[in-house]
Amino acid sequence: MFFERIYEEGLAQASYLIACQATGEAIVIDPRRDIDVYLDIAKKKSFKITHVSETHIHADFLSGVRELAYATGAEILLSDEGGRDWQYEFPHVGLKAGESFMVGNLKFEVMHVPGHTPEHIAFLLTDIPAGDYPSMLFTGDFVFVGSVGRPDLLEKAAGIKGTQELGARQMFDSLKQFSNLPDYIQVWPGHGAGSACGKALGAVPNSTIGYEKLANWALTTEDEGNFVETLLDGQPEPPRYFAMMKKLNKQGPSVLNGMPKPPQLDVAAFMEAYESGMTLVDTRRKGPFSEGHIPGSICIPGVGSFSNWAGWLLEYDKPFMVLASEAEIETIVRKLIRIGLDNLHGYITGLDVWTGAGRELATLPQIDAEAAQRMVEKGEAHILDVRAKSEYIDGHIPGVTNIHLGYVRESIDEIPQDKTLIVQCLSGARSTIGSSVLMNKGIADVLNLDGGIQAWRKAGLPTEK
């Protein structure tokens, strides 16, 4: 048997390519939309991808099942569990609990494990030539290392009322199936630390049934009421784009048939789009952006959580542009299509399209902690904390307004604008994004707290819980 885990750091998302080396047949589980990584592995190892599947209708990324099936002719195997409202709307072979299928000499048994979503399934793998016993469980967003999938997304992100407590109770029951499996079975989840599909996910890539039964809080909690309360408490804010991912993944993502190649815009093309009001995303880091940027552009650095913040802040039905270097544009495009942001009008590589026409750049002034405190004490400024609610509760600067970065754009009317606005996060990175959103919305008197609340604490200034 051949096995490879493919991990995408930006979304903390894992997919898997498993192949029978005797027959050369392979399956990909939970593929992302840019599929060349799977094609490259298969070509290098002389495998043929004959099957493609996923554990559930994903909310955090756009699935690559249709893309991969189109490219390879692979059979699409998807859950037919969960009831009428949770059926995929494009052609596939349906899978039910207790059924199994073969990929060469590899046997995959289907488990229905609702909780995170009603249709969620897991795959129990047996390598028949090695022995008549299972060795791996692909859990998707059911069981993570040290945690379990969140059951509140359908209600909080997709707006389906009354589903989170039901999902939590279904998760409690599904975990009984998990606990009854042999302890030696390896657990390979769909996400790692940093994913918004759960809370407190472990950073190691995999675990075992036995270890999770010892160390995973969800498997050591025997009281159902306590389990439900603990599971629902403290879940991170679901990104705004999750509802769109659910919709597109259920309907069937459009097939790109290769990586899109957006045009590089010349001065005339850029200015025409800019003057029409089209959004420009500046993917440079916070330092260069703060020192000088095209007025109205939104700063979303192209590293780390770019996909996440792009999904939060961009509109799916409107075209946009990006500023990125020639060397970085392909990576930016990949991160965009992974969450279905396909409306990239084009890109520019620098500020010269603006400065070359004699136009002035905008800046984002920085302020240190001591100066910020003095302005607040004099009544000259107000602080906007754009961290998550859980971070705010854990400790914040007295008197701040807390609005999660992802909600800033739609919460402009709730933000004090009668004095200078100092934007703050943990270190100054998210607050740079938030500041750019405010300036894009016409709020000009904005300062970024350099170093965030970390610098505030380092200066010995007060915080409260």
Catalytic residue among 20, 197, 299, 425: 425
Neighbours of 134 (CB within 10 A): 20
Tally of CB atoms within 10 A around 334: 18
- Determine how β-strand 298-299 pairs with β-strand 320-323: unpaired
> What integer pLDDT is reported at residue 163 of this predicted model?
87
Q: How confident is the model at residue 137 (pLDDT cuts 50, 70, 90)?
A: very high
Q: What is the mean pLDDT of residues 105-129?
A: 97
Q: How confident is the model at residue 196 (pLDDT cuts 50, 70, 90)?
A: confident
Average pLDDT over every residue of 48-52: 98
Does pLDDT of 224 surpass 90?
yes
Verify that 345 and 378 share a domain, yes or no: no
Q: Which of 372, 434, 378, 375 is nearest to 402 (CA)?
A: 434
| Structural domain includes residue 76 | yes
Predicted local distance difference test score (pLDDT) of residue 195: 83
360 assigned to some structural domain: no
Alpha carbon 349 to chain centroid, angstroms: 26
200 within a domain of the structure (yes/no):
yes
By residue range, what is the domain housing residue 436? 366-458
Asked whether the predicted pLDDT for residue 272 surpasses 90, the reply is: yes
CB atoms within 10 A of CB 283: 24
Residues 175 and 294 in one domain: no
Q: What is the mean pLDDT of the chain?
A: 96
**CA pair distance 358, 462, nearest whole angstrom:** 45
Same domain (yes/no): 273, 419: no
pLDDT tens digit sequence for 277-335? 999 999 999 999 999 999 999 999 999 889 999 999 999 999 999 999 999 999 999 99
Residues 6 or more apart whose CB falls under 8 angstroms from that of 243 comprise 59, 157, 158, 159
Question: pLDDT band at 257, cuts 50/70/90?
Answer: very high
Q: What is the mean pLDDT of residues 234-251?
A: 91
Q: Check residue 440 and give its pLDDT.
A: 97
CB 343 within 8 A of CB 316: yes
Q: For the domain that residue 326 is a member of, what is the CATH number?
A: 3.40.250.10
pLDDT 10s digits, 381-427: 999 999 999 999 999 999 999 999 999 999 999 999 999 999 999 99
Average pLDDT over residues 340-357: 96
Q: What is the CATH number of the domain that holds 46?
A: 3.60.15.10
Instruction: Examine the domain organization and report whether 379 and 305 are in the same domain.
Output: no
Task: Give the residue-averaged pLDDT of 105-117.
Answer: 97
Residue 417 in domain: yes
- Predicted confidence at residue 156, as pLDDT, reads 79
User: Do 103 and 188 share a domain, yes or no?
Assistant: yes
* Number of domains the chain is built from: 3
Q: How many residues does the chain have?
A: 465
Considering the domain architecture, whether residues 126 and 167 belong to the same structural domain is answered as yes
Q: Is the pLDDT of residue 117 over 90?
A: yes
Cβ 150 vs Cβ 116: under 8 Å: yes
Q: At what angle do helices 306-313 and 429-440 cross, to 10 degrees?
A: 30
- Domain assignment of residue 272, yes or no: yes
In a domain, 392, yes or no: yes
- Looking at the structure, tell me whether residues 104 and 35 fall in a common domain: yes
DSSP string, 302-324: SSTTHHHHHHHHS-TTS-EEEE-
In a domain, 262, yes or no: no
- Tell whether 257 is covered by a domain: no
Same domain, yes or no: 321 and 375: no
Give long-range contacts, CB 8 A cutoff, 24+ apart: 79-83.
79/55, 79/112, 79/119, 79/120, 79/121, 80/119, 81/112, 81/114, 81/118, 81/119, 81/120, 81/121, 82/114, 82/117, 82/118, 82/119, 82/120, 83/118, 83/119
**For the chain, how big is the Rg over CA atoms in Å?**
24
In this prediction, residue 104 has a pLDDT band, given cuts at 50, 70 and 90, of: very high
Whether residue 323 is found in the same domain as residue 452: no
pLDDT at residue 211, rounded to an integer: 97
Question: pLDDT tens, 356-377?
Answer: 989 999 999 999 999 999 999 9
Q: Are residues 144 and 200 in the same domain?
A: yes
Last residue of a domain, one of 300, 321, 355: 355
Domain termination residue (choose one: 336, 355, 374) = 355
Q: What span, in angstroms and rounded, lies between the C-alpha atoms of 248 and 397?
A: 40
- H/E segment holding residue 231: helix 224-232
20 included as an active-site residue: no
Residue 160 has pLDDT above 80, yes or no: no
Same domain for 218 and 349?
Answer: no
Give the integer Cα–Cα distance in Å for 313 and 304.
16
Predicted confidence at residue 411, as pLDDT, reads 95
Tell me, yes or no, whether 298 and 435 share the same domain.
Answer: no
